[in-house]
Amino acid sequence: MADSPVNLSQSLFTTGAEVVNKEAVAVGAWSSDLPKVKRSRKLPSDGWEMIEPTLDELDKKMREAETEPHEEKRKVESLWPIFKIHNKKTQYIFYLFYKRKAISRELCEYCIKEGYADKNPMAKWKKQGWENLCCLCCIQTRATNFGTNCICRVPKSKVGMGCSVKGTHCGCQGCSGWHP
């Protein structure tokens, strides 16, 4: 005699994988303090102990920024804190590797591979005139209506006195290199 739909669905929940998952949930293995991003099993190189507390603190700030309420904000405004924190993490790794030379190339590449830093802004920051670039969205011309850069890339002397302008992508108030 064929199984009824009730018996069939009950037999699906009694497989070995389901029992393990139910036990894991019952023990609390799926708590909220687990990292969101799955990291590789490759061990970081020397110097990781020095930068790990700062990266963990920035990860906590990132989670707070992701969970903060954004009902009163525009859609793009709710993403600005996330852009800023990601930019800070990338700048931190860039500063330690290229400016202070405090970490090794292997550790920098590990941070890029694991998602702690972004290699594209780092490549731009190495070039003269791009040291203050806030994000890559601000220089992509396809993201604007008229095929130009973001307003934050325009020098403040060209914008006008007393005019406070924020970029639409990341909320930057001016990363063109000229600051009063």
Span 44-92, pLDDT tens digits: 888 999 999 999 999 999 999 989 888 888 877 888 888 889 989 999 9
Task: Say what the pLDDT of residue 31 is.
Answer: 41
**CA 130 to CA 14: how far, in whole Å?**
58
Task: Using the predicted structure, report yes or no on whether residue 40 has a pLDDT greater than 50.
Answer: yes
Structure tokens at 107: 């550790």
pLDDT greater than 80 at residue 129: no
Burial 56-91 (b: 16+ CB within 10 A, else e): eebbebbeebeeeeeeeeeeeebbbbebbbbbebbb
Q: Cα–Cα distance between 102 and 170 in angstroms, integer?
A: 29
- Tell me what pLDDT residue 45 has: 81
Q: What is the pLDDT of residue 38?
A: 57
Whole-number Å distance between alpha carbons of 134 and 167: 10
Q: How far apart are CA 129 and CA 86, in angstroms?
A: 21
The per-residue pLDDT for 177 is: 56
Q: Percentage of the chain surpassing pLDDT 70?
A: 65
Residue 157 has pLDDT above 80, yes or no: no
